[in-house]
Amino acid sequence: MFLTLANQITILRVLLIFPFVICLLNTGHPQNGNWIRGGAIVIFLIMAISDAVDGYLARTKKQVTALGAFLDPMADKLMITCASVILCAPQTAIEGYQLPLTVVVLIIGKDLLLLLGFIITYLLTVQIHIRPVLAGKASTFFQIMMVSSVLIGPEMASWLGFWPIVTAIIWWAAGFCAVVATFVYIYRGIRYIEEFHSTQVNENKPLDTSK
């Protein structure tokens, strides 16, 4: 079978981004805004669960594939990028929880730099090199927490008056982790390229037959 179950779940997560974005764009509806935001929360929860499920299947059922290694982070980046832009724009932001432009620039800038680094690495090595690191996982975690805390902000604020402060801490932590992850990936990418070319030079080095 061309697509493993893990890959099918990942593709489903990509497809769910479309209704998720539609819901986010309409959370300011004068009559049904809260219900629509509730729909966005449900879809976001489904995507988060599916992310955990496809990762579990890939590891335990030995369904790790190159396609899955590419699609899984791409799905996360598309979801976070769309949510960040929409929740940052004044017209579509949730009242009282508008994401700071600085945080959104840091998050999207990280992904753009990683894409550029991926292209450069491929051009220099002709190898697809995708290796997740702890800093990257931490960055993704805080970004997901950021979107979650914003979406449930109005309800949580009625229970916890300091929820806006909690949300602000989370989104600045997401921005900080994005910066750290960017530097880590750049360092690892440069090291990978240097090691690759060092290996190529050693393999092409003629044998010394004088001994």
Judge whether 123 lies within some domain.
Answer: yes
211 part of a folded domain: no
Residue 114 in any domain: the answer is yes
Give the CATH number of the domain where residue 138 resides: 1.20.120
Q: How buried is 55 (Cβ within 10 angstroms: 0-12 exposed, 13-18 middle, 19+ buried)?
A: middle
In the prediction, which pLDDT does 108 show? 94
CA geometry: angle 94, 41, 50, nearest 5 deg:
140
* Domain boundaries, position 131: 5-203
Q: Assess if residue 209 is contained within a domain.
A: no
What's residue 179's pLDDT?
Answer: 95
Reported pTM: 0.82
Q: Is residue 208, in this structure, part of any structural domain at all?
A: no
* pLDDT attached to residue 128: 67
Q: Which of 139, 122, 165 is nearest to 77 (CA)?
A: 139
Which two structure tokens, joined as six digits, stand for 35? Answer: 């219900």
User: Does a structural domain hold residue 210?
Assistant: no
The three-point CA angle 48-50-56 to 5° equals: 110
Cα distance from N-terminal residue to C-terminal residue, the chain: 54
Token pair of 134, please? 């702890």
171: in domain: yes
- Token pair of 147 as six digits: 């979107």
Residue 21, domain member (yes or no): yes
| All residues at 6 or more sequence positions from 190 whose CB lies less than 8 Å from its CB, including other chains | none
Q: What is the CA radius of gyration of the chain?
A: 21
| Domain total in the chain | 1
Please, what are the averages of pLDDT over each run of 10 residues along the chain (211 residues)? Answer: 77 92 87 88 91 79 71 86 93 91 94 87 75 84 93 90 94 95 90 80 59 49
| Structure confidence at residue 58 (pLDDT) | 74
